[in-house]
Structures are given as C-alpha cells and as structure tokens.
Amino acid sequence: MQSINIGRWLIGGVIAGVLVFLAEGFIHAKLLHEHWMATMRAAGRSMEAEGPGSGLVYFAASSVLRGLALAWVYAVIRSHFGPGPKTAIIAGLAVWAIMFAVPFIAQVPIGFHSGAMLGTWALYELILTVVAGLVAGAVYKDAAAA
C-alpha cells in the first residue's frame, strides 16, 4: 500500500477548496438568494441587515476542508479504482453524500428549509463537489509519479 503524497494532497485540496469557496459565493448569493431571503424572513432575521460578516471565515474554512476531504478521498480510493476522472467523480459523489445528501434528508422533517431549497441546494452542491473532485484528482499524483 502506497502512502499519500502529502504535498500533492495539500495543493489539490487547497485549490479545490478555493474553487468551492468562490462557487459557493455565487450559489448562495445568486442562485439561492430568494430561497435564503424566504428562510431568513421565516426565522425573523434579515440578511440585508446582518450580512455575511465574520461568517466568511467559517465559509472559507469549510470550503478548504471540503477540498482537502475531496483530495484525501481521491488519494485513498485511487488504489482501488485507478487514477483518473472516474475515481475523482466517485470521490466527489462520496463527499457530497456525506456532506449534503444525508444531512439534507434529515433536515426535511424539521421544516426550517423548504423542500425546494434543499433539493435545489443539493443539486448545486452535487455539481460543485464533483467538479471540485475532478480538480483535486487532476492535481493529485502519487509520490513516485510526482
């Protein structure tokens, strides 16, 4: 069993994380804006008044951690599935399922977010996470191949 190339894991993970952070900004500020406005109104809060503030630090940390998770899963499973896009897509699907599909299903009965928002959000995150997995996979190389 070959060990993970830590340098390439970090580089791939951080690059994927930056992509996630930038895309998340677009997804939430543009594509899900109306859903977020409705959710915040229902909670008695205002995004206009509150703004992202220090939340951006948490969003950035979450994005980089997702990128690192994608790169790590890719590095670990490539010995089983082989290097390449197929393995990167599998890594993206696995990370998406753990980070979004399972938690969102558990959110449905709580009713804080509408089903439409959760479904739309999950779809955007699926696309983003698979693309970020492809980026992380393209950057990662085993130590011997680097």
How much is the pTM? 0.89
Q: What is the pLDDT of residues 30-72, one digit of tens each?
A: 999 888 888 888 878 776 666 667 788 999 999 999 999 999 9
**136: exposed, middle or buried (C-beta count within 10 Å: 0-12, 13-18, 19+)?**
buried
Q: What is the pLDDT of residues 77-87, one digit of tens each?
A: 999 999 999 99
Mean pLDDT over each residue of the chain, to the nearest integer: 91
Kindly state the average pLDDT of the residues 95-112: 92
Q: What is the pLDDT of residues 9-28, one digit of tens each?
A: 999 999 999 999 999 999 99
Q: Which residues of 51-90 are buried (b: 16+ CB within 10 A; e: fewer)?
A: eeeeeeeebbeebbebbbbbbbbbbeebeeeebeeebbbb
